[in-house]
Amino acid sequence: MGFENISVEKRGKIDIVSINRERAMNALNKHVFSELDEYFTAVREDDTVSGVVVTGAGEKAFAAGADIKEFGGLEASSASALAKRGQDIFFKIENLNKPVIAAVNGFSLGGGNELAMACHMRVASEKARFGQPEVNLGIITGYGGSQRLVQYIGKGKAMELLLTGDMIKADEAYRLGLVNHVVPAGEEINKSIEILEKISTKGPLSVAKMINTVNDYFDKNVNGFDREVIRFGECAATEDFKEGASAFVEKRAADFKGV
The per-residue DSSP string of 20-51 comes to --GGGTT-B-HHHHHHHHHHHHHHTT-TT--E
Percent of the chain predicted with pLDDT > 70: 100
Helix, strand, coil distribution of the chain in percent, nearest 5: 50, 15, 35
Mean pLDDT of 109-131: 98
For residue 118, give the 3-state DSSP assignment. helix
Q: In the structure, what pLDDT confidence band is assigned to residue 179 with cuts at 50, 70 and 90?
A: very high
Gap between the Cα atoms of 193 and 133, Å rounded: 30
pLDDT band at 157 (very low <50, low <70, confident <90, very high): very high
pTM: 0.95
Q: Which of the two residues, 74 and 122, has the higher pLDDT score?
A: 122
- Per-residue pLDDT reduced to its tens digit, 124-153: 999 999 999 999 999 999 999 999 999 999
What band does 70 get if pLDDT is binned at 50, 70 and 90? Answer: confident
Q: What b/e string do you get for 116-146 counting C-beta neighbours within 10 Å, with b at 16 or more?
A: bbbbbbbbbbebbbbbbbbeeeeeebbbbbb
What's the pLDDT band for 71 if we cut at 50, 70, 90? confident
Rounded to an integer, what distance in angstroms lies between the CA atom of residue 8 and that of residue 35? 11
51 near 43, Cβ under 8 Å? Answer: no
pLDDT in tens, 182-230: 999 999 999 999 999 999 999 999 999 999 999 999 999 999 999 999 9
Q: How many residues does the chain have?
A: 259
- How much is the mean pLDDT over the chain? 95
Strands 14-19 and 6-11: antiparallel
Cα 232 → chain centroid: 25
How far apart are alpha carbons 208 and 98 in whole angstroms? Answer: 6
Which residues are CB-contacts of 149 (< 8 A; sequence separation ≥ 6)? 117, 132, 141, 158, 161, 162, 178
Collapsed DSSP state (helix, strand, coil) of residue 122:
strand
- Picking from 61, 146, 138, the residue whose alpha carbon sits closest to that of residue 105 is 61
Question: Which residue numbers are catalytic?
Answer: 114, 134
CB 63 within 8 A of CB 27: yes
Cα–Cα nearest to 204, from 238, 233, 175, 237: 238
State pLDDT tens for residues 31-52.
Answer: 999 999 999 999 999 999 999 9
Q: What whole-number distance in Å separates Cα of residue 140 and Cα of residue 114? A: 12
